[in-house]
Amino acid sequence: MAIRTDVVRLYRQVHTWTGILTGLILFVCFYAGALTMFKEPLERWITPPVAVTPATLDRAEELVAATRALRPEVRDFTLAVGPALAGEVPLRLTWTEERFDPAPWAATLAPDGSVAVEQLNPSGIGLLVDFLHRTVGIPGDLDIGTTVTGIASALYVVALVSGVIILLPSLVKDFLVLRVTRNVKRLWLDAHNVLGLISLPFHIVIALSAVVFGLHDHIYDTLDRVVYGGQMRAVAASSSPFRTVSKDMSPAGMLPPKEFLTRVHSLAPGFQPVSLEYHDAGTGAATVRVWGHDPRYLVRREGFVLMGAVDGRIIDTEYMPGHQNGWSATVSAFFALHFGSFGGGIVRWSYFLLGLAGAALFYTGNLLWIESRRRTERQAKGRSAVGPVEQSRATRLLAAGTVGVCLGCVAGLSLTIAAGKWLSGLVDDLHAWHWGIYYAVFLGACAWAFLRGASRAGVELLWASAVATAAIPATSLLGLVMPGLWLSDGLIGVDLVALAGALAFAAMARSAERRAQTGPRDSVWAAAVGHPKSEMGMQPLAHPAE
Amino acid sequence: MTDASSARHTQAPIRPDWWSKSVAGVVLGFSLAIAMSGLFAWIGPGGPAAVNKLQFIMWLVVPIWLGVASVCFLFRSGRQAWLWLGCANILAHTALLAARSPLLH
């Protein structure tokens, strides 16, 4: 496809700058995002096993009534159905005091019919990867972090469009060609292009939806003023699933939990209920949201049907897979395409791999800029120049930042996951420990990278990432022999994936080491200047024929 | 590389005008996207109050906004970008006002 060369040149600059500004932020978003696909297994991998017999729902009604009697002020709570039936958790009611509460309360039923209320202390690794994915780990208010990722995602959309424009002219010639030659930049460019093109639809979907997730508050505010004349709240309220629910707060009895499941089953036999979320329980306005999955439809993480808790009537199906109107179904599809919450395991694994590939795309993007800067600086010095070219400050800083941020994120996540199993039961607030370990490793890696320089820190941090990731399966192996540790039942996948990751990082460390020794001496990746091999036997770098 | 191809150019080359075009794309692109989504909210199927249409309208803003911001570097100059996007904005917002005006309902 013919595109004017000045247009291509212009968009190459757009692509470079949007990429440089967002690459590191997006790396963290993608790497943590890939892990969010498996946050439940990760959480269970860290949690000590307790003998839970798969529950029947026969005693659920008794549990609700007893909890209501003990804690009448708690009117909003959740009864996990799927995980209790599967024997993953005991039959219990849980509630939180704020929206993102790492330590929810739980009420369980003793055999004698009495209720025990305790505060749960889950490892919180699921919350950690989720927050990291949304905020890049920017501390403080969630809104600040999500706004930053929203803006980065907007630039990422522009980077995608410009990337496609600059690839179009050479698409047929270059597509899926990986040129493994002495020319390292060519190799990185080919890898970057292949990764980008293969996963382009995924990236478009993720980029656009991430902008929405990051900036929706601001967009809604503008729409309210410009489009809805200040009446947007009323418009939104008239779409709420609760719009027809009465305000009746007088005491009223509720149907048993099993009854709701029976009615949902007759409404949608393919729907797999996961939990019952009660609202205003024990009053005339009491409602139950039956949350669940239906892999045949594109829905948000989970869909729900809203029912009256007193009479069991179906109140709203706007969030129920297969029962939505066109607008809801379309928006739900956008959510599902971002979360990968459709199609079951195959899509989940694909999203995991696409997420990792995305992280690699941003990593290679930064490497490309660094490589091309090196060439520019060589040209600036004159083509005849042989021997090392002094790298500019910007190149050195970006190289160190790339190594520190990306590998700090990788090593920090791996180590905090592995540490979760060691610390579980030993510390009071495991969630806080998870964050502490992550930040310590991440910030330490960044500091290390700037102190040591990209070439040495790159190799060292890759080894550190390999070791930290290998600590995950090693912890499980030790669980076979060491008291206090354990092998998590049915979660061998976590250990195998981590092992594969550790091997991959080790291989990357080896190749970075080789490059530092034998690669071009004027590269930021070369071992420190003054190395005995530096001037001997080195050919001047071949210039790419462009 | 440049010698061979520049001879074929009959049109003037595109001026980069980075700041001017970027600001035009981000700011005027956003207001254009709001107006066009709003227009769809009012005159599209179901009217503005259809159940859960509001969420769809919000999602619509982003692809329009960033689509405009992405392609606006194709304008010959920053001046052209401001001129064209400004006119498009005036048109779209006038249409939105008309669609919201009770006289038409």
Q: How would you write the pLDDT of chain A (546 residues) with one tens digit per residue? A: 677 888 999 999 999 999 999 999 999 999 999 999 999 999 999 988 887 777 788 889 999 999 999 999 999 999 999 888 888 888 999 999 887 787 899 999 888 888 999 988 888 899 999 999 999 999 888 899 999 999 999 999 999 999 999 988 877 666 656 666 667 778 888 888 888 888 999 999 999 999 999 999 999 999 999 999 999 999 999 999 999 898 889 999 999 999 999 999 999 998 999 999 999 999 999 999 999 988 888 877 789 999 999 999 999 999 998 889 899 999 999 999 999 988 888 999 999 999 999 999 998 888 888 877 777 777 776 655 555 566 788 888 999 999 999 999 999 999 999 999 999 888 888 999 999 999 999 999 999 999 999 989 999 999 999 999 999 999 999 988 888 888 887 889 999 999 999 999 999 999 989 988 887 777 788 876 443 333 333 333 333 333
Find which of A219, A298, A325 to mutate to test the B interface (most B CBs within 10 Å of its CB).
A219
DSSP A388: P
Q: How many CB pairs under 8 A join A and B?
A: 106
- What span, in angstroms and rounded, lies between the C-alpha atoms of A504 and A466? 8
End-to-end CA distance of chain A: 18
Say whether B34 and A334 touch across the interface (CB within 8 A): no
- What span, in angstroms and rounded, lies between the C-alpha atoms of A33 and A129? 7
Tokens of A218: 């601001």
**Residue A395: predicted pLDDT:** 86
pLDDT band at B8 (very low <50, low <70, confident <90, very high): very low
Say whether A10 and B73 touch across the interface (CB within 8 A): yes
Q: How far is A248 from chain B (nearest CA, A)?
A: 24
- What span, in angstroms and rounded, lies between the C-alpha atoms of A54 and A80? 12
Q: What is the pTM of this model?
A: 0.90
**Residue B53: predicted pLDDT:** 95
Give whole-number Cα distances, A149 to A207, A213, A276, A440, in Å: 10, 9, 32, 22
Q: How far is B37 from chain A (nearest CA, A)?
A: 9
* Long-range CB contacts for residues A343-347, cutoff 8 Å, separation at least 24: A343/A295, A344/A295
The alpha carbon of residue B40 and the mean position of all alpha carbons in its chain are separated, in whole angstroms, by 14
- What span, in angstroms and rounded, lies between the C-alpha atoms of A427 and A124? 13
**A290: helix, strand or coil:** strand
Q: Using CB atoms and an 8 Å cut-off, which of residues 6-65 of chain B contact chain A? A: 9, 13-14, 16, 30, 34-35, 37-38, 41-42, 46, 48-59, 61-63
- What span, in angstroms and rounded, lies between the C-alpha atoms of A66 and A115? 6
Residue with tokens 């009491």: A286
Query: Which string of DSSP letters, residue by residue, matches A239-289?
Result: T-TTTT-----SB-----HHHHHHHHHHH-TT-EEEEEEEESTTBTT-EEE
Say whether A208 and B5 touch across the interface (CB within 8 A): no
Give whole-number Cα distances, B41 to B34, B66, B100, in Å: 10, 19, 10
Q: How far is A546 from chain B (nearest CA, A)?
A: 8
**Residue A110: predicted pLDDT:** 84
**Residue A538: predicted pLDDT:** 36
**Residue B1: predicted pLDDT:** 39
**In chain B, which residue's Cα lies nearest the Cα of A209?**
B59
**Residue A149: predicted pLDDT:** 96
Q: Which residue would you say has higher pLDDT here, B13 or A437?
A: A437
User: Looking at this predicted complex, what is its ipTM?
Assistant: 0.89
DSSP A390: P
Q: Which of B16, B53, B58 sits opposite A10 (nearest CB)?
A: B16
B54 contacts in A (CB within 8 Å)?
Answer: 223, 228, 232, 235-236, 239
Say whether A325 and B71 touch across the interface (CB within 8 A): no
Phi, psi of A273 (to 5 degrees): -65, 140
Region B44-60: mean pLDDT is: 94
**Residue A541: predicted pLDDT:** 39
Tokens of B48: 């503005």
**Residue A543: predicted pLDDT:** 38
Q: How far is B80 from chain A (nearest CA, A)?
A: 16
